[in-house]
């Protein structure tokens, strides 16, 4: 869409007609987090994509777009696959936003990382229980685990950081009272 103002203009008209609240979001400079927000905006915009691609009067002759949006089964599969990718990327996006705050500290960094890893573990464990209807291939799950483990190792085994994140988190654990809730997430 970023290469065709004509298509983007018609997309904007369609998303307003369909009462879709947000337009497409592009991938920004903090790419990893904005990939999720861009993907989410694409999922929300699928009805608008379908509307403009199926309108022959607009003259949108892009074969890839027609392949994705002319057939309901293909649209469903595309939307499903984007949602599956979004489920893996989702915890990273808000964590990145929080970590960009001016008062973020090493404990926050480690806490967000634990939340991300816990989300991925829950997601993949639930997927394992589906057996025949599993969303993610075993090889993909292994890659996700390997990437997450590699990032965690870089975070806590970084000689330059001197284990500052793990040390700060452990210090916070030992200073808190037994009745104090360590991780509070707003509902």
How much is the pLDDT for 99? 75
Residue 75: which residues within 8 A CB-CB, separation 6 or more? 46, 50, 68, 69
pLDDT at 160: 67
Which residues 6+ apart lie within 8 Å of 151 measured at CB?
A: 113
Token readout for 136 is 């993610």
What count of Cα atoms within 13 Å lies in the side-chain half-sphere of residue 76?
A: 3
Alpha carbon 75 to its chain centroid, in Å, reads 20
Domain ranges of the chain: 5-89, 101-175
Q: Within 13 Å, how many C-alpha atoms sit on residue 128's CB side?
A: 10
Q: Tell me the C-alpha distance between 99 and 128, whole Å.
A: 31
Buried (b) or exposed (e) across 31-67, using 16+ Cβ within 10 A? eebbbbbbbbbbebbbbbbbbbbeeeeeebeeeebee
Q: How confident is the model at residue 79, as a pLDDT?
A: 93
pLDDT tens track, the chain, 187 positions: 667 788 888 989 999 999 998 888 888 776 677 888 889 999 999 999 899 988 888 888 878 888 888 889 999 999 999 999 999 988 888 888 777 778 888 888 888 888 888 899 899 988 888 877 888 888 999 998 888 888 777 776 767 666 777 777 778 777 765 544 444 433 3
Q: Which residue has the tokens 């991938």?
A: 27
Six-digit token pair at 99? 């970590």
Place of tokens 């904007």: 12
Residues ≥6 apart with Cβ < 8 Å to 142:
none
Q: What is the pTM of this model?
A: 0.74
The whole-number pLDDT of residue 1 equals: 66
């Amino acid at each position: 869409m970023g290469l065709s103002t004509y298509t983007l203009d018609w997309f904007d008209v369609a998303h307003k007609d369909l009462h879709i609240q947000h337009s497409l979001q592009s991938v920004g400079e903090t790419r990893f987090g904005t990939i999720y927000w861009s993907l989410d905006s694409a999922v929300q915009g699928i009805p608008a994509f379908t509307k403009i691609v199926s309108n022959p009067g607009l003259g949108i002759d892009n074969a890839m777009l027609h392949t994705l949006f002319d057939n309901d089964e293909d649209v469903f599969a595309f939307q499903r696959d984007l949602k599956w990718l979004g489920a893996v990327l989702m915890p990273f996006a808000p964590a990145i936003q929080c970590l960009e705050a001016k008062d973020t500290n090493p404990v926050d960094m480690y806490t967000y990382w634990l939340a991300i890893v816990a989300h991925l573990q829950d997601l993949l464990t639930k997927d394992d229980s589906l057996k025949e209807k599993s969303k993610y291939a075993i090889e993909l799950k292994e890659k996700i685990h390997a990437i997450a483990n590699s990032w965690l190792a870089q975070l806590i085994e970084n000689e330059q950081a001197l284990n500052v994140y793990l040390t700060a988190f452990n210090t916070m654990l030992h200073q808190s009272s037994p009745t104090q809730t360590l991780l509070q997430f707003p509902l």
